[in-house]
Amino acid sequence: MGFRKVNCPYCGGENTAALNEETGYVRCNLCGADGYIETPTEEEKPNKEEWLQRQPWFKRQDKRRLAAPVEPIDDENVVAWFAQRGISEETLINRSVTAGKDWMLPNGKDRPNGGECRTIHFNYYRDEELVATKLRSADKCFRWSVPSCDNIPYNLDSIKRAPGCYITEGEIDALSLHEVGLRAVISAVSMQEIVNVFESHLKGKDFVFICADNDERGLELAEKIKKYLTAKMGKIATVKIISDYGTRPDGTPIKDANECLTTFGPTVLYDKIANYQNTPSE
C-alpha cells in the first residue's frame, strides 16, 4: 500500500501531506511535520488541538517557521546545473540563491515513498527580510518552507527604487535577466502576487514589461497582469508584453527568457528585452 494525499493535521494544508495508510506514517510537503499518526475514531472525535498534542511529532512552535535550513551554493553540481542554463555563480550569490537537502514528495522514480534529496532554495525577501523559501528538486518538484507565507513575487526588493521593472514567470527567468544586466526584475506565477504588491512596489513605475512564457498559460497570465496594471496605472505608465524571444533554425519559437539566453547568449536576450521599449506602442 502506498502513500495518499491527506490534509496536514499540523498546519491545516489541504492535501499537502502524504499518508501511508498501512504504517500510519505521515509527512507534510508544506510545513515539514512528520511522524506516525494516531487516527481518531468516529467515537473519539477529539478536537483538533487535543489530537495534535497527542501525536509524537507534535511540537509547540510558531507555525510560520521561516526559511528551511539553507547553506551557501558550495555544491559543484548545483553551480554546474545553473551554468548549463547560462546563470553564473556570481548571480546566484547576488540573488541569495542557496541549496540544501530537504524531504520532497514521492516522484514515482528514485523517491517512491518520498525522501531527502538535494534542493535549490529560492529565497524570497521583502524589505531585506526573509519571508519564505521555495524549494526545488532536480526533477522539478516544488514546495514552500513554511505552512503559509506572504504571496509575493520573487526578487521583490530589486524593484523598490527602480523607475520601471520587468516581470517574468519563474525564478530562473528572473535570474536570466539579472545575468544580462537587467536587475529590476521580479517573478510572479499568479495574478494575486502582483495585486499584493501593487501599492507598495509597482504603483508609480514609468514602465512595466511582462516577459511572458510563449505558451498558452504564460500568455494568458501576462494578459491578465497587463489588464490589471493598465487599469490601475492609466496613462501614467507603459505596460507591454514581451513574448518574442526569437526562433530556432527549425522555425520553432523560443519559449522564455532562459531558453533565449542558453540558445543565443546574453547579448541577444538583453536586446530582446531592454530595447523592446523603443518599439511603437501596442
Fold of 151-282: Dna Topoisomerase Vi A Subunit; Chain: A, domain 2 (3.40.1360)
**Is residue 75 scored above 80 in pLDDT?**
no
Burial of 174 (0-12, 13-18, 19+ CB in 10 A): buried
Confidence of residue 143 (pLDDT cuts 50, 70, 90): confident
Quick one: average pLDDT of 126-153? 82
Instruction: Please indicate whether residue 7 or residue 95 has the higher confidence score (pLDDT).
Output: 95
**Is residue 130 scored above 80 in pLDDT?**
yes
pLDDT at 64: 34
Tell me the per-residue pLDDT of 19-38, one tens digit each, with 9 for 90 and over: 776 667 777 766 666 666 65
pLDDT at 61: 37
pLDDT at 16: 74
Do residues 187 and 152 touch, judged by C-beta distance below 8 A?
Answer: no
pLDDT at 198: 96
**Is residue 88 scored above 70 in pLDDT?**
yes
Grid coordinates belonging to 259: 531558453
**Is residue 117 scored above 80 in pLDDT?**
yes
Backbone angles phi, psi at 46, to 5 degrees: -70, 155
**Is residue 40 scored above 70 in pLDDT?**
no
Q: How does the average pLDDT of the chain come out, rounded?
A: 81
- CA-nearest of 174, 204, 188 to 269 is 174
- What's the number of CA atoms in the CB half-sphere (13 Å) around residue 224? 15
pLDDT at 45: 45
pLDDT at 84: 93
**pTM across the whole model:** 0.73
Tell me the per-residue pLDDT of 219-264, one tens digit each, with 9 for 90 and over: 999 999 999 999 999 778 899 999 999 999 899 999 999 999 999 9
Instruction: Please indicate whether residue 282 or residue 153 has the higher confidence score (pLDDT).
Output: 153
d(CA 70, CA 148): 18
**Is residue 6 scored above 50 in pLDDT?**
yes
Break the chain into its structural domains and give their ranges: 3-54, 64-150, 151-282
**Is residue 41 scored above 70 in pLDDT?**
no
Tell me the per-residue pLDDT of 184-225, one tens digit each, with 9 for 90 and over: 999 999 999 999 999 999 999 999 999 999 999 999 999 999
Quick one: average pLDDT of 152-177? 95
Tell me the per-residue pLDDT of 93-116, one tens digit each, with 9 for 90 and over: 889 898 888 888 777 777 777 788
d(CA 132, CA 136): 13
pLDDT at 100: 84
